[in-house]
Amino acid sequence: MSGANSSSLTPEFFVLTGVPGLEAAHIWISLPFCFMYLIAVVGNCGLIYLISHEDSLHRPMYYFLALLSFTDVTLCTTTVPNMLCIFWFNLKEIHFNACLAQMFFVHMLTGMESGVLMLMALDRYVAICYPLRYATILTNPVITKAGLATFLRSVMLITPFTFLTKRLPYCHGNFIPHTYCDHMSVAKVSCGNFKINAIYGLMVALLIGVFDICCISISYSMILRAVVSLSSADARHKAFSTCTSHICAIVITYVPAFFTFFTHRFGGHNIPQHIHIIVANLYLLLPPTMNPIVYGVKTKQIREGVIKFLLGDKIGFT
């Protein structure tokens, strides 16, 4: 096998083929992805800078948003530059260990993203259901510990992916029909039994994705009950408006994530492979691109912070 170590059946490198069946359109496909990546980098870095420098945004909700922005921009940077090299320069080879590293960071950061969305739901629950105790419950040490726990959970659960994938023999070739090293895409190249990989991947999805979705659902059911009990229509509207940005972020993140996950593991044979690949890339690019836009449009404090930053002290806010 080309580029393989015959004694261990471990390839020296993999070849990422890009979007199978659409090789002639790679340049055109790359343009929207490149544009989305630029928006994601500028938008998320801008949010992080704004939150760190604007005193009015030094609140738990915005600290979690800054953490989400950092996770998002790191996630898309892990895959998009390499993908653009495939599309623009036909640089398709990736070293075996580099592929495993990319796979680890992609899945660790997506797990981290899910965890931060859960923390943001809990933040909204505390803010709406316990407004008088909000500042005393979500102190800076608590926020730091929650963020660290989310990070460590993701690292500990995703690390075995690397070892489970590295142990597999690759005697059928080293071509991966994808734009980045996804766990199951790499495992399916193997000529060995990757059932353990599939089972562990499902278990991780349950421990991260399903657990987080349950926590988010419970939080919003409690929020809904608290908001409905408010006597003032203005108070109900204000409470709901603080959640709309987060709900949009949840939908943008989880819809392509579940599509990618279930079609990989439970059939999806009737769906063309290039659709799988494009949706998998949107899964990594859409949330980082849209979250800064959604929060910028829906959140008054961020809008005011952006205007204040752009215009300096020429205006004031009441």
Q: What is the pLDDT, as a whole number, of residue 2?
A: 43
The type of residue at 291 is N
Is there a contact between 22 and 30 (Cβ–Cβ < 8 Å)?
Answer: no
**How does residue 237 score in pLDDT terms, banded at 50, 70 and 90?**
confident
Q: Per-residue pLDDT tens for 261-284? A: 777 666 556 778 888 899 899 999
Q: What is the pLDDT, as a whole number, of residue 5?
A: 45
Q: What is the pLDDT, as a whole number, of residue 267?
A: 57
- Check whether 110 has a pLDDT greater than 70: yes
User: Could you give the C-alpha distances from 81 to 50, 88, 126, 261, in angstroms and in order?
Assistant: 25, 10, 39, 23
**How does residue 83 score in pLDDT terms, banded at 50, 70 and 90?**
very high
Q: Which of 250, 245, 257, 162 is nearest to 200 (CA)?
A: 162
Taking the C-alpha atoms of residue 52 and residue 180, their distance in angstroms, rounded to an integer, is 32
Is there a contact between 13 and 181 (Cβ–Cβ < 8 Å)?
Answer: no
**How does residue 1 score in pLDDT terms, banded at 50, 70 and 90?**
very low
Q: Which of 140, 146, 282, 289 is nearest to 215 (CA)?
A: 146
For a pLDDT cut of 70, what percent of the chain falls above it? 93
Taking the chain, what is the end-to-end CA distance rounded to the nearest angstrom?
69
Residue 90 inside a domain? The answer is yes
What average pLDDT score do residues 230-245 get? Answer: 79
Is there a contact between 277 and 177 (Cβ–Cβ < 8 Å)?
Answer: yes
Residue 271 inside a domain? The answer is yes
3-state secondary structure of 229: coil
Residue 287 inside a domain? The answer is yes
Residue 185 inside a domain? The answer is yes
Q: Per-residue pLDDT tens for 5-35? A: 444 578 999 999 999 989 999 999 999 999 9
Taking the C-alpha atoms of residue 22 and residue 233, their distance in angstroms, rounded to an integer, is 52
Q: What is the pTM of this model?
A: 0.92
**How does residue 212 score in pLDDT terms, banded at 50, 70 and 90?**
very high
Q: Which of 114, 41, 113 is nearest to 84 (CA)?
A: 41
Output the six-digit token pair for 124: 């909204």
Q: What is the pLDDT, as a whole number, of residue 240?
A: 77
Is there a contact between 48 and 55 (Cβ–Cβ < 8 Å)?
Answer: no
What's the structural domain count of the chain?
A: 1
Domain of residue 137, residue span: 13-303
Residue 272 inside a domain? The answer is yes
Residue 1 inside a domain? The answer is no
Output the six-digit token pair for 223: 């929020």
Q: Which of 67-71, 226-230, 249-253 has the highest mean pLDDT?
A: 67-71
The type of residue at 13 is F
In CATH, what number is assigned to the domain containing residue 180?
Answer: 1.20.1070.10
Residue 265 inside a domain? The answer is yes
- Which element (helix H / strand E) includes 4? strand 4-5
Q: What is the pLDDT, as a whole number, of residue 315?
A: 52
What average pLDDT score do residues 238-262 get? Answer: 84
- Check whether 71 has a pLDDT greater than 60: yes
Residue 32 inside a domain? The answer is yes
Q: What is the pLDDT, as a whole number, of residue 7?
A: 46
Taking the C-alpha atoms of residue 280 and residue 237, their distance in angstroms, rounded to an integer, is 36
Residue 296: half-sphere exposure toward Cβ, Cα within 13 Å:
19
Taking the C-alpha atoms of residue 2 and residue 279, their distance in angstroms, rounded to an integer, is 30
Which residues does 81 contact at the CB level (< 8 Å), separation at least 6? none
Q: What torsion do the CA atoms of 226, 111, 209, 149 make, to the nearest 10 degrees?
A: -60
| Mean pLDDT of the chain, nearest integer | 89
Which letter does DSSP use for residue 54 in this model?
A: -
